[in-house]
Chains A and B, each alone.
Chain A
Amino acid sequence: MTLTKEKAEQYLLQMYQIRAFEEQAEKSYMAGKIHGTMHLSIGQEASAVGSISTLEPTDFIIGHHRGHGLCIAKGADLNLMMAEFYGKENGYCRGRGGSMHIADVDGGNLGANGVVGGGIPLAVGVGIGLKMQAENKVLLAFFGDGAASTGAFHESMILAVLYQVPVVFICENNQYAMSFSANDWTTSKKIAAHGEIYGMPGSTSTDGNDLLEVQKAVEAAVKRAREGGGPSLIVNDTYRWRGHSKSDRNRYRTKEEIEKWKKKDPILRFQKQCIGEKLLSEKEAEKIKDQGYADIESARLFAEASPEPDVAALEEGVYAP
């Protein structure tokens, strides 16, 4: 995929929207406007945008609990996303799902997931269905390093290879499962090696903070999946700047470590690349950043003005008619 000016603008805007969404989420929470918890993906923007930029609009993604960025990269309506985060009736899930369950089935977003590893078996089934429906669509299935130790992951790898599903499994290795360091039991390379072991050629790990490197790896895997070559496993090595959730006291890592990763900011890195290659000027990049933050500000206003769900409708939507 050659990087055009138009694409550069799009990716940078999406990454700034993600950053701004997460910062706004945190602010709204601190202001006492949010009832639940949240898992922020600040620092992981290139993994989301780089991966999902390889898809056609009719393709699918399935996400994980730290999934705001994935939704935005898949083209979610920011107003409906923010309204869902606020638990409002006109949010994507009518306020029933919240941060951990934002989904847009018609838009190809099959949902974030509150169970670590919970989306991986679903991904295999989506792949089986896509293969049967024979419409040449593919699925990107996202999960974290924490999920790579679950039985769900390993069972799913086996089934995915057995049925040669058109799925690219993407592990966003942000280094910690809550407090448990991935380095204590594995590395990005080793997680990717599971792909090879289970029979997914071309499984690899990337510098997940380098949008173009992520994109290149995922693009090849998507192409193979679409051509009937079966699944792949790609591990994007990245870092979450914020804690696991709001309960995190950061006892398991040092400030130095966090600062070290902040220097590898995936957004600034891509922005510099674009400016270096004369695709964007400093001024244009600034404008895109402002646009991203403005989009989120208007989403916030939309969400705050949105109606609460009607409590009389509590039991709606449990069963299909």
Chain B
Amino acid sequence: MREITYLEAVREAMTQEMERDSRVFLIGEDVGEYGGAFQVSYGMLEKFGPERILDTPITELGLTGAATGAALIGMRPIAEIMFMDFTTLASEQLVNQAAKLRFMFGGNATVPLVLRTPAGSGTGAAEHHSQSFENWFVHVPGLKVVMPTTPYDAKGLLIASIRDDNPVVFIEHKLLYKTKGDVPEELYEIPLGKADIKREGKDLTIIATSIMVQRSLQAAEELAKDGIDVEIVDPRTLRPLDTETIVNSVKKTGKVLIVHEAVKTGGFGGELAGVIAESEAFGYLDAPILRLAGREVPIPYNRNLELKAVPQVEDIIQKARELVNLRV
């Protein structure tokens, strides 16, 4: 199969969907000539013209509302928010309007909107360009939240998100943009709400999201050298959540480590731990559920401090070893 980057996979999904469906369009800051801050939409203006690649001034609230309004009358917009940090500015329209229009209109409205945004630290961009806010949006009924890890997942999940009749927050990771993987040239959907087992194992389950899946896979290779066989579950969609795959994995291994980049307090790991504790998997646990997540600080600028603020491969290895030796 052909290998392309995560970034190219996102662009290809948008491009192919726009070719297939004239209702799909892209709106965002500098998504035209500039190609988006990360070049995700580079070349799309040339292909589709300014009528379907809508460059905006700095108007996160306005452009998110505009995408929502267009969706309300049957268009299928993709809005790009340049950094997830700036979704704070967009969230009135996303949380109060897009997420609720259907319900508060008695089920008589449809909002097929995708809001794409890159999250995550590691680029030295400091406090205002590095955050991971996924759990804020997971908390909102009416939204779906997707976090792809691989190029293959990015393309299939984005196509499914564009075709979904609900508002979807599609969270990319800056450090994954240049990672490569096998991606089919044709259109395909990965259903929202379906987790993926990224590595099979029997000794413990790591549930990880976004870039933490890649780091967990690296950690698993190291742990395998010591005879620790790790299973890695990637939920891919945080809302709706594939609890079945998660519960089955925990039942199999009896031990679970949750890894995400976002700050631990109030993060998605707490939700995962709750889901597991409430499920039949509880009786299979041989140790407490552990979480490894972002430290309780804003993301700092200095390289060494920044690395320490979120889980790295060695942190995952260490935490997994700790868990292997833990008993209830």
Q: Is the CB of A111 within 8 A of B101?
A: yes
> What B residues does A92 contact at CB under 8 A?
105-106, 108
A151's contact among B57, B61, B102, by CB below 8 Å, is which?
A: B61
A317's contact among B51, B97, B106, by CB below 8 Å, is which?
A: B106
* Most chain A Cβ neighbours within 10 Å, of B64, B108, B141: B108
Q: Is the CB of A121 within 8 A of B56?
A: no
Q: Is the CB of A125 within 8 A of B56?
A: no
B102's contact among A114, A128, A152, A317, by CB below 8 Å, is which?
A: A317
CA distance A4 to B229 in the complex (A): 84
User: How would residues 51 to 78 of chain A score, 1 for a CB under 8 Å from any chain B CB and 0 otherwise?
Assistant: 0000000001010000000000000000
Q: Is the CB of A93 within 8 A of B108?
A: yes
- A208-238 at interface with B (beta carbon < 8 Å): none
- Whether B103 is near chain A, meaning CB under 8 Å from some CB there, is yes
Number of interface residues of A (CB under 8 A): 47
Q: Is the CB of A152 within 8 A of B92?
A: yes
Given contacts A105-B109, A159-B62, contact A126 B70 (CB under 8 A): yes
- B10-68 at interface with A (beta carbon < 8 Å): 23, 25, 27, 51, 54, 56-57, 59, 61-68
- Whether A201 is near chain B, meaning CB under 8 Å from some CB there, is no
- Whether B93 is near chain A, meaning CB under 8 Å from some CB there, is yes
Q: Is the CB of A122 within 8 A of B68?
A: yes
- Whether B74 is near chain A, meaning CB under 8 Å from some CB there, is yes
- Whether B249 is near chain A, meaning CB under 8 Å from some CB there, is no
Give B30 Cβ to nearest chain A Cβ, in Å: 14
Number of interface residues of B (CB under 8 A): 46
Q: Is the CB of A115 within 8 A of B62?
A: no
CA distance A118 to B92 in the complex (A): 8
Give B257 Cβ to nearest chain A Cβ, in Å: 31
CA distance A97 to B103 in the complex (A): 8
- Whether A132 is near chain B, meaning CB under 8 Å from some CB there, is yes
- Whether A32 is near chain B, meaning CB under 8 Å from some CB there, is no
> What B residues does A110 contact at CB under 8 A?
69, 72-73
Q: Is the CB of A122 within 8 A of B109?
A: no
> What A residues does B253 contact at CB under 8 A?
none
Q: Is the CB of A93 within 8 A of B106?
A: yes
A97's contact among B104, B111, B112, by CB below 8 Å, is which?
A: B104
CA distance A123 to B164 in the complex (A): 22
Q: Is the CB of A319 within 8 A of B56?
A: no
Give B255 Cβ to nearest chain A Cβ, in Å: 33
Q: Is the CB of A159 within 8 A of B56?
A: yes
* Most chain A Cβ neighbours within 10 Å, of B51, B106, B144: B106
Q: Is the CB of A118 within 8 A of B59?
A: no
- Whether B246 is near chain A, meaning CB under 8 Å from some CB there, is no
* Most chain B Cβ neighbours within 10 Å, of A101, A120, A126, A163: A126
Give B102 Cβ to nearest chain A Cβ, in Å: 6
> What A residues does B51 contact at CB under 8 A?
132
Q: Is the CB of A103 within 8 A of B65?
A: no
> What A residues does B182 contact at CB under 8 A?
none
Q: Is the CB of B57 within 8 A of A162?
A: yes
- Whether A320 is near chain B, meaning CB under 8 Å from some CB there, is yes
CA distance A124 to B56 in the complex (A): 12
Q: Is the CB of A128 within 8 A of B64?
A: no
Given contacts A93-B105, A96-B106, A320-B166, contact A128 B54 (CB under 8 A): yes
Q: Is the CB of A118 within 8 A of B69?
A: no
5 contacts between A and B (CB under 8 A): A113-B97, A118-B96, A121-B62, A125-B75, A132-B75
Which A residues have a C-beta under 8 Å from some C-beta of B? 60, 62, 91-97, 101, 103-106, 110-111, 113-115, 118, 120-130, 132-133, 151-152, 155-156, 158-159, 162-163, 316-321
Besides the known contacts A96-B104, A128-B54, 15 further A-B residue pairs in the complex with CB atoms under 8 A apart: A93-B104, A97-B105, A103-B104, A111-B105, A120-B65, A121-B61, A122-B65, A122-B69, A122-B97, A125-B69, A132-B25, A133-B75, A152-B62, A155-B61, A320-B102
